[in-house]
């Protein structure tokens, strides 16, 4: 398979791919010990576990990919400009949505770095790991550990997706606790109420 070349790029560079996997496993072990062995047992706060874990994986892959290629000045400035956008956003974005925005930017950056120095397998491996770990953390693991409660909420004008940040602030004000996320279970337009599933910090 190492001899297969598509558009001038190797399908797989076994030595480089094996090194990437080894470094990833070392990084995964380290961040797992830090988060699940040190941070979580003491703080018992699941609110930031997703962000800590995903940001670590994203930074690892983008650093690994970019370290294997020579960046042209224009590309480097373009990358800097992309991340600068995150600082100058015009509206408050919940931390979970910010993380997914960061994921989309990092994946685009990684997928655009396919060169003769990087094989297709390394790019595909990075994409699969990012998507798989995001899915596991978001849908399977964290959902089982997040303390949550169901409440009936009457300000249904705040349940619109664009006003999620306002909804979370209102819930924190009423509950007196940090709210990490909220899901809309049902809406009764006749009574102008909604049943919300609120995930606490």
Q: Is the same domain home to 26 and 105?
A: yes
Mean pLDDT, residues 115-140? 80
Q: Is the same domain home to 77 and 139?
A: yes
Q: Check residue 90 and give its pLDDT.
A: 47
The domain tally of the chain equals 2
Q: What average pLDDT does the structure give for the chain?
A: 77
Q: Check residue 71 and give its pLDDT.
A: 56
Q: Is the same domain home to 166 and 136?
A: no
Tokens describing residue 160: 């619109």
Q: Which domain holds residue 163?
A: 148-200
Q: Is the same domain home to 39 and 123?
A: yes
Q: Is the same domain home to 134 and 152?
A: no
Model-level pTM greater than 0.85?
A: no
Q: pLDDT per residue over 15-56, tens digit each?
A: 777 888 888 898 889 888 888 887 777 666 666 777 888 888
Could you give the CA distance from residue 160 to residue 177 in angstroms, rounded to a whole number?
Answer: 22
Which of 145, 167, 191 is the last residue in one of the domains? Answer: 145
Please give the C-alpha separations between residue 152 and each of 65, 155, 162, in angstroms, as whole numbers. Answer: 48, 10, 20
Could you give the CA distance from residue 20 to residue 126 in angstroms, rounded to a whole number?
Answer: 9
Residue where the block lists tokens 């809309």: 184
Could you give the CA distance from residue 92 to residue 95 in angstroms, rounded to a whole number?
Answer: 9
Which of these, 96, 103, 100, lies nearest to 146 by C-alpha position? 96
Q: Is the same domain home to 101 and 185?
A: no
Q: Is 53 exposed, middle or buried (0-12, 13-18, 19+ CB in 10 A)?
A: buried
Q: Is the same domain home to 162 and 97?
A: no
Q: Check residue 68 and give its pLDDT.
A: 59
DSSP type of residue 70? P
Q: Is the same domain home to 89 and 168?
A: no
Q: Is the same domain home to 60 and 89?
A: yes
Which of 145, 161, 191 is the last residue in one of the domains? Answer: 145
Q: Is the same domain home to 84 and 34?
A: yes
Q: Is the same domain home to 69 and 119?
A: yes
Q: pLDDT per residue over 70-119, tens digit each?
A: 655 555 556 666 666 556 554 566 677 777 878 887 887 777 766 656 67
Q: Is the same domain home to 140 and 164?
A: no
Mean pLDDT, residues 55-60? 86
Which of 145, 170, 185 is the last residue in one of the domains? Answer: 145
Could you give the CA distance from residue 179 to residue 200 in angstroms, rounded to a whole number?
Answer: 5
Could you give the CA distance from residue 69 to residue 184 in angstroms, rounded to a whole number?
Answer: 45
């Amino acid at each position: 398979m190492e001899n297969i070349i598509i558009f001038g790029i190797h399908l797989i560079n076994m030595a480089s791919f094996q090194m990437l996997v080894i470094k990833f496993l070392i990084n995964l072990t380290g961040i797992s010990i830090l988060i699940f062995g040190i941070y979580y047992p003491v703080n018992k706060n699941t609110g930031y576990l997703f962000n800590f874990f995903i940001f670590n994986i994203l930074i690892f892959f983008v650093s690994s990919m970019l370290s294997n290629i020579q960046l042209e000045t224009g590309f480097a400035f373009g990358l800097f400009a992309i991340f600068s956008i995150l600082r100058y956003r015009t509206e408050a974005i919940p931390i979970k949505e910010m993380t997914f925005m960061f994921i989309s930017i990092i994946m685009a950056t990684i997928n655009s770095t396919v060169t003769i120095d990087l094989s297709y397998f390394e790019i595909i491996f990075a994409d699969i790991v990012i998507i798989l770990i995001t899915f596991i953390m978001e849908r399977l693991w964290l959902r089982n550990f997040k303390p949550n409660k169901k409440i009936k909420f009457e300000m249904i004008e705040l349940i619109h997706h664009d006003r999620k940040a306002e909804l979370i602030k209102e819930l924190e004000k009423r509950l007196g606790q940090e709210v990490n996320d909220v899901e809309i279970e049902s809406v009764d337009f006749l009574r102008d109420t909604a049943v919300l599933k609120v995930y606490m910090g």
